[in-house]
């Protein structure tokens, strides 16, 4: 980016930060309008280091999706999500075992916790809880704010890890059509979003592995904003898609590099590299779609981390002959370095290949039943 453009973005970011801080201080001066909440996102880590991300916000009263909710109800909840009032520079206490750590949120209310366990982690579970308490600010008339964050630590039994895209890979989003994508994001809810057929069963079998009890970790990497985290969490639960850390892009808004944080490629590369570096003992399966840059990103990762990627699955959603030919060429590139890239229209094709590689149990090669439909 030209230097003058970066300078303009930098100035705009500073102006936005000052305006947000002014609005926050004004709300606090009149006593605040809503209760404050801590929203922890699912974290991950190893026996030596736990990582948890979250955000401190005003509780806007976003309701969970119900069968009777109308488009209007969905639109109101979407407005509340994207019109969130963050609590800048909130102070929190994070506790795990006998470690007590204080952290400060940034200007957007986001905070990150790194904790080094002082004792061995229990071997009978893969999720570990970090206690979170809000120290500042405190609002008069409301009880103390506290919650628990969950961190995934893969067990010794893990056979491999999975890194999956979400949009147009797990659920229909139609990112190639901005109008339809906007309708899916703004006018739908967790009960009306649709998964691709067989996703729930396939991902459950990937989690269980070839022997059925591996507890393989699954990570979801998306360019969606953190604002829709609760919606997708509810969607995964309703559709019985395996639980796993969802690693999103930052909020939609200004940053110092662009008007909207839309650098899909850079975000995904950074996130996947970090997971591969954290879990050095694990090999990974990568799952994405042909609609955006997933094939190019995954091929770059395969070449950058030789021997670490077991296979790549790309869901064919583009229906473009030239795109298919380009991905087929990429498949030949990864085959040359000992990996496989499978372009598939149906989840069952991915499952059949995974069975042939002994990554999942043989019964997964049978017809995979349709997932629950909204």
Q: What is the pLDDT of residues 185-194, one digit of tens each?
A: 555 666 667 8
> Top-level CATH class of 34-152?
mainly beta
Task: Name the more confident of 99 and 259.
Answer: 99
Q: Does residue 278 have a pLDDT over 70?
A: yes
Please say if the pLDDT value at position 22 is more than 60: no
The reported pLDDT for the residue numbered 254 is: 46
- Interval 300-326 mean pLDDT: 94
- Average pLDDT, stretch 201-225? 92
Burial code of 266-295, b = ≥16 C-beta within 10 A, e = fewer?
ebbbebbeebbeebeebbbbbbbbbbbebb
What's the CATH number for 161-365? Answer: 3.40.50.1000
Q: Can you name the residues that pair with 131 across neighbouring β-strands? A: 95, 148
**What single DSSP character describes residue 364?**
G
Task: Give the pLDDT confidence score for residue 131 in this predicted structure.
Answer: 98
55 vs 228, higher pLDDT: 55
Residue 93: CA atoms inside 13 Å, Cβ hemisphere, count? 12
Facing residues of 284 across strands? 161, 309
The band of 27, judged by pLDDT with boundaries at 50, 70 and 90, is: low
Does residue 13 have a pLDDT over 50?
no
Please name which of 61, 75, 130 lies closest in space to residue 101, comparing C-alpha atoms. 130
Cα–Cα nearest to 99, from 80, 78, 114: 114
Residue ranges of the domains in the chain?
34-152, 161-365
* Residue 359 in tokens: 């990554």
Q: Is the pLDDT of residue 26 over 80?
A: no
As a whole number of angstroms, the distance between CA 104 and CA 128 comes to 22
Q: Say what the alpha-carbon torsion angle 186, 191, 197, 202 is, to the nearest 10 degrees.
A: 110
Q: What is the mean pLDDT of the chain?
A: 83
* pTM for the model: 0.83
Strand partners, 225: 249
CB 374 within 8 A of CB 192: yes
Q: Pick from 21, 141, 138, 147: which is nearest to 89 by CA?
A: 21
d(CA 349, CA 346): 6
């Amino acid at each position: 980016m030209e230097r003058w453009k970066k300078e303009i973005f930098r100035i705009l970011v500073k102006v936005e930060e000052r305006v947000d801080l002014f609005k926050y201080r004004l709300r606090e001066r009149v006593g605040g309008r809503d209760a404050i909440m801590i929203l922890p996102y699912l974290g991950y880590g190893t026996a030596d280091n736990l990582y948890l991300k979250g955000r401190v916000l005003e509780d806007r009263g976003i309701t969970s999706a119900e069968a009777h909710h109308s488009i209007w109800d969905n639109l109101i909840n979407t407005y509340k999500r994207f019109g969130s009032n963050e609590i800048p520079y909130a102070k929190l206490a994070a506790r795990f075992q006998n470690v007590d750590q204080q952290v400060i949120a940034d200007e957007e209310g986001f905070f990150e916790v790194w904790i080094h366990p002082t004792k061995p982690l229990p071997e009978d579970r893969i999720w570990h809880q970090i206690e979170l308490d809000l120290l500042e600010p405190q609002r008069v008339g409301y009880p103390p704010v506290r919650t628990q964050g969950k961190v995934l630590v893969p067990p010794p039994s893990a056979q491999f890890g999975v890194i999956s895209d979400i949009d147009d890979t797990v659920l229909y989003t139609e990112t190639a059509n901005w109008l339809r994508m906007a309708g899916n994001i703004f006018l739908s809810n967790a009960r009306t979003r649709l998964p691709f057929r067989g996703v729930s069963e396939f991902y459950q079998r990937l989690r269980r592995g070839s022997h059925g009890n591996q507890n393989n970790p699954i990570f979801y990497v998306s360019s969606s904003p953190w604002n829709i985290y609760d919606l997708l969490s509810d969607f995964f639960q309703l559709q019985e898609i395996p639980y796993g850390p969802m690693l999103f892009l930052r909020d939609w808004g200004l940053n110092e590099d662009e008007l909207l944080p839309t650098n899909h490629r850079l975000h995904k590369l950074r996130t996947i590299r970090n997971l591969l570096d954290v879990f050095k003992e694990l090999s990974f399966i990568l799952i994405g779609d042909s609609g955006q840059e997933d094939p190019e990103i995954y091929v770059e990762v395969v070449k950058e981390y030789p021997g670490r990627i077991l296979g790549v699955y790309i869901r064919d959603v583009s229906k473009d002959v030239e795109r298919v030919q380009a991905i087929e060429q990429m498949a030949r590139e990864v085959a040359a370095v000992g990996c496989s890239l499978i372009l598939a229209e149906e989840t069952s094709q991915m499952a059949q290949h995974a069975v042939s590689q002994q990554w999942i149990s043989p019964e997964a090669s049978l017809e995979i039943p349709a997932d629950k439909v909204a």
